[in-house]
Amino acid sequence: MHAKKVVKGDLRVYFCIFSLFTTALCPKFHVHLASLLVFSTLSAHAAGLRNYTAVLKLPLTFFLPSALVLTLLPVGGGGVCEGVLLSLGPLCVTKAGLNLALRTSLRAFASFSVLCYLILTTSVVEVFAALRRFRIPRFIVELVVFIYRIIQILLEELERLERAADARLGFRSRRTMLKTVSLLAFSLFVSGMRRVEKMEQALNARCYAGEIPFRAEESRGWLVVLPVVSLLLLGCLSPCSLVFP
Amino acid sequence: MSALIETRDLWHVYSDGTVSLRGVNFKAMRGEVTVLLGPNGAGKTTLLLHLNGLLKPTRGEVLFEGKPVSYDKRNLTELRRRVGFIFQNADDQIVAPTVWQEVAFGPKNLGLSDAEVAERVREALNWVGLEGFEERLCNMLSIGERQKLAIAGVLAMHPDVILMDEPTASLDNFGLNSVLNVVRRLKAEGKTLIISTHDIDFAFRVADKFVVLHNGKIVHNGSHLPLETARKFGLRMFDALWKR
Assess whether A147 and A196 both reside in one domain.
Answer: yes
In a domain? residue B60? yes
Assess whether A28 and A113 both reside in one domain.
Answer: yes
Assess whether A197 and A106 both reside in one domain.
Answer: no
CA dist., res. B79 & res. A217, Å (int): 33
Assess whether A104 and A27 both reside in one domain.
Answer: yes
In a domain? residue A3? no
Range of the domain at A113: 10-122+217-237
In a domain? residue B51? yes
**Per-residue model confidence (pLDDT) at position A124:** 84
Assess whether A91 and A173 both reside in one domain.
Answer: no
Q: What is the dihedral of CA B105, B109, B115, B116, to 10 degrees?
A: -100
Could you give the number of structural domains in chain A? 2
Interface-testing mutation among B98, B121, B136, B155, with chain A (most A C-beta atoms within 10 A): B98
End-to-end CA distance of chain A: 41
| B65 secondary structure, DSSP code | T
Helix spans in chain A (H): 10-25, 29-47, 49-72, 95-121, 124-131, 138-167, 174-205, 222-237
Of A172, A166, A155, A53, nearest in space to A113 by CA:
A53
In a domain? residue A79? yes
Assess whether A15 and A93 both reside in one domain.
Answer: yes
**Per-residue model confidence (pLDDT) at position B151:** 94
Q: Do the bridges between strand B161-165 and strand B83-86 make them parallel or antiparallel, or are there none, so unpaired?
A: parallel
Q: For residue A55, what are the contacts with CB-CB under 8 A and spacing of at least 6?
A: A43, A116, A119, A120
Tell me the pLDDT tens digit for each residue of B58-84: 999 999 999 999 999 889 989 999 999
Closest CA in chain B for residue A121: B135
B108: domain CATH number? 3.40.50.300
Residue B109's H or E segment, with its range, is helix B99-109
In a domain? residue A244? no
The average pLDDT across A181-194 equals: 90
The average pLDDT across B199-204 equals: 87
Q: Which of B54, B94, B100 sits opposite A204 (nearest CB)?
A: B54
**Per-residue model confidence (pLDDT) at position A90:** 74
| A244 secondary structure, DSSP code | P
Q: Is the ipTM reported for this complex over the cut 0.85? A: no
Closest CA in chain A for residue B85: A205
Q: Do A207 and B93 touch (CB under 8 A)?
A: no
Grouping H, G, I as helix, E, B as strand and the rest as coil, residue B117 is: helix
Assess whether A225 and A109 both reside in one domain.
Answer: yes
Q: For residue B170, what are the contacts with CB-CB under 8 A and spacing of at least 6?
A: B143
In a domain? residue A98? yes
In a domain? residue B244? no
B60–chain A nearest CA distance, Å:
21
Contact (Cβ atoms closer than 8 angstroms) between residue B63 and residue B133: no
* pLDDT higher than 60, residue B175: yes
Interface of A with B (CB under 8 A): 1, 123-125, 145-146, 148-149, 152-153, 155-156, 195, 198-199, 201-209, 211-216
Assess whether A40 and A141 both reside in one domain.
Answer: no
- Between these two residues, B48 and A128, which has the higher pLDDT value? B48
Of B225, B101, B78, nearest in space to B153 by CA:
B101
Range of the domain at B36: 3-238
Q: DSSP string of B167-228?
A: TTTT--HHHHHHHHHHHHHHHHTT-EEEEEESBHHHHHHH-SEEEEEETTEEEEEES---HH
Residues of A in contact with B95 (CB under 8 A): 146, 149, 199, 202-203, 206, 208
Tell me the pLDDT tens digit for each residue of B117-127: 999 999 999 99
In a domain? residue A128? no
**Per-residue model confidence (pLDDT) at position A209:** 86
In a domain? residue A212? no
CA dist., res. B27 & res. B194, Å (int): 10
Question: Most distant CA pair in chain B: distance in Å?
Answer: 59
CA dist., res. A69 & res. A99, Å (int): 12
The average pLDDT across A215-241 equals: 87
Q: Which of B54, B137, B154 sits opposite A152 (nearest CB)?
A: B137
Tell me the pLDDT tens digit for each residue of B126-144: 999 999 999 898 988 998 8
Grouping H, G, I as helix, E, B as strand and the rest as coil, residue B17 is: coil
**Per-residue model confidence (pLDDT) at position B244:** 43
CA dist., res. B189 & res. A173, Å (int): 59
Q: Do B92 and A202 touch (CB under 8 A)?
A: yes
Contact (Cβ atoms closer than 8 angstroms) between residue B208 and residue B223: yes
| A50 secondary structure, DSSP code | H
Assess whether A25 and A112 both reside in one domain.
Answer: yes
Assess whether A200 and A89 both reside in one domain.
Answer: no
Tell me the pLDDT tens digit for each residue of A135-150: 888 888 888 889 989 9
Assess whether A27 and A77 both reside in one domain.
Answer: yes
Tell me the pLDDT tens digit for each residue of A73-85: 766 555 556 677 7
pLDDT-derived band at A169 (thresholds 50, 70, 90) equals: confident
Q: For residue A5, what are the contacts with CB-CB under 8 A and spacing of at least 6?
A: A12, A46, A121, A221
**Per-residue model confidence (pLDDT) at position A166:** 84
Q: Which amino acid does the sequence have at A187?
A: S
End-to-end CA distance of chain B: 42
CA dist., res. A127 & res. A13, Å (int): 6
In a domain? residue B243? no
CA dist., res. B77 & res. B165, Å (int): 20
Q: Do A213 and B105 touch (CB under 8 A)?
A: yes
Interface-testing mutation among B87, B95, B133, B134, with chain A (most A C-beta atoms within 10 A): B95
A140–chain B nearest CA distance, Å:
15
State the angle between helix axes of A49-72 and A29-47 in degrees (0 to 180), rounded to the nearest 10: 150
pLDDT-derived band at B239 (thresholds 50, 70, 90) equals: low
Of B166, B214, B221, nearest in space to B20 by CA:
B214
In a domain? residue B84? yes
Residues of A in contact with B112 (CB under 8 A): none
Closest CA in chain B for residue A212: B105
Assess whether A201 and A221 both reside in one domain.
Answer: no
CA dist., res. A69 & res. A79, Å (int): 14
Q: Which of A145, A153, A208 sits opposite B109 (nearest CB)?
A: A208
Could you tell me the strand order of the sheet in which B161-165 lies?
B83-86, B161-165, B192-197, B33-37, B209-214, B217-222
Residues of B in contact with A145 (CB under 8 A): 96-97, 101
In a domain? residue A2? no
Whole-number percent of chain B with pLDDT over 90: 66
Q: Which of A125, A195, A205 sits opposite B98 (nearest CB)?
A: A125
* pLDDT higher than 50, residue A62: yes
**Per-residue model confidence (pLDDT) at position A238:** 83
How much is the pTM? 0.78
How much is the mean pLDDT over chain A?
86
Could you give the number of structural domains in chain B? 1
Q: Which amino acid does the sequence have at B9?
A: D
Pairs of CB atoms within 8 A across A/B: 99
Grouping H, G, I as helix, E, B as strand and the rest as coil, residue B237 is: coil
In a domain? residue A4? no
Q: Which of B152-161, B209-218, B226-235 has the lowest mean pLDDT?
A: B226-235
Q: Do A206 and B92 touch (CB under 8 A)?
A: no
